[in-house]
């Protein structure tokens, strides 16, 4: 009876071991890639949840207040896109003040598409103040289309007053849209549509 392994048996064992090791590396690599993809998707979902929460809170408390720009000019209560990245801007009520700072509860907010991200920026004062640092809410956005819907006129039979429109230019500068629709195009999810009502009773 001989002891040990022959050279052929040793080579076969090493070959089998190398196959198992290679398979383990592939499995671990796929698992790591899957975890990274899952983490990326989770981050993107959280981004849009954060964006939705901010938009819902702001638009629900939109105010019929005419702000003033940095040059002192009177601006409409609600402004849509201006072609420079702004999506819309308006004054909102209910700005929390836990520290009791000497300021109003109104806040001028603006949503923009900048460098593939939807950002929110605000002024410390409604009239004439410069914007503070923007807050990035959602990344990976290639384009955004916004539509507005006016409140139906009870004194008119025209259906067009309730149609969605790509820009907001009412006859009176204090009039707000009744609803806002946002279609954000993303590389990961395609078009993400969100609908919001303005001036929701609290």
Residue 44 inside a domain? The answer is no
Question: Does the residue 151 lie in any domain?
Answer: yes
Report d(CA 169, CA 171) in Å as an integer.
Answer: 7
d(CA 48, CA 56): 12
Provide the number of structural domains found in the chain: 1
- How far is the first Cα of the chain from the last one, in angstroms, to the nearest whole number? 91
Residue span of the structural domain in which 92 resides: 56-197
In a domain, 186, yes or no: yes
pLDDT at 179: 95
Any domain includes 188: yes
CATH code for the domain of 161: 3.10.610.10
Q: Is 183 left (phi over 0), alpha (psi -120 to 50) or beta?
A: beta
Would 116 be classed as within a structural domain? yes
pLDDT one-digit tens code per residue, 3-41: 555 766 676 677 777 777 777 777 776 666 666 665 566
**Are 23 and 66 in contact, with CB atoms under 8 Å apart?**
no
pTM value is 0.75
Q: Which residues of the chain have pLDDT under 70?
A: 1-5, 7-9, 11-12, 29-41, 96-103, 153-162, 201-202
Please tell me the predicted confidence (pLDDT) of residue 76.
94
Residue 14 is assigned to a structural domain of this protein: no
Average pLDDT, the chain: 83
Q: What is the pLDDT of residue 41?
A: 63
30 inside domain: no
């Amino acid at each position: 009876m001989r002891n040990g392994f022959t050279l052929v048996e040793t080579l076969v064992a090493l070959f089998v071991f190398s196959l198992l090791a290679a398979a383990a590396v592939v499995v671990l690599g796929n698992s790591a890639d899957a975890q990274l993809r899952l983490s990326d998707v989770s981050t993107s979902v959280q981004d849009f949840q954060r964006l939705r929460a901010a938009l819902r809170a702001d638009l629900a408390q939109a105010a019929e207040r005419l702000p003033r720009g940095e040059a002192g000019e009177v601006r409409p209560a609600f402004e849509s896109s201006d072609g420079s990245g702004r999506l819309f801007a308006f004054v909102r009520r209910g700005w929390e003040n836990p520290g009791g700072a000497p300021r109003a509860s109104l806040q001028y907010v603006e949503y923009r598409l900048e460098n593939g991200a939807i950002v929110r920026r605000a002024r410390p004062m409604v009239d004439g103040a410069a914007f503070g640092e923007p807050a990035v809410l959602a990344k990976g956005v290639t384009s955004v289309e916004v539509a507005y819907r006016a409140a139906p006129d009870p004194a008119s039979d025209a259906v067009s007053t309730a149609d969605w429109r790509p820009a907001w230019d009412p006859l009176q500068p204090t009039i707000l849209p009744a609803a806002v629709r946002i279609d954000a195009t993303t590389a990961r999810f395609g078009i993400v549509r969100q609908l919001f009502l303005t001036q929701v009773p609290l």
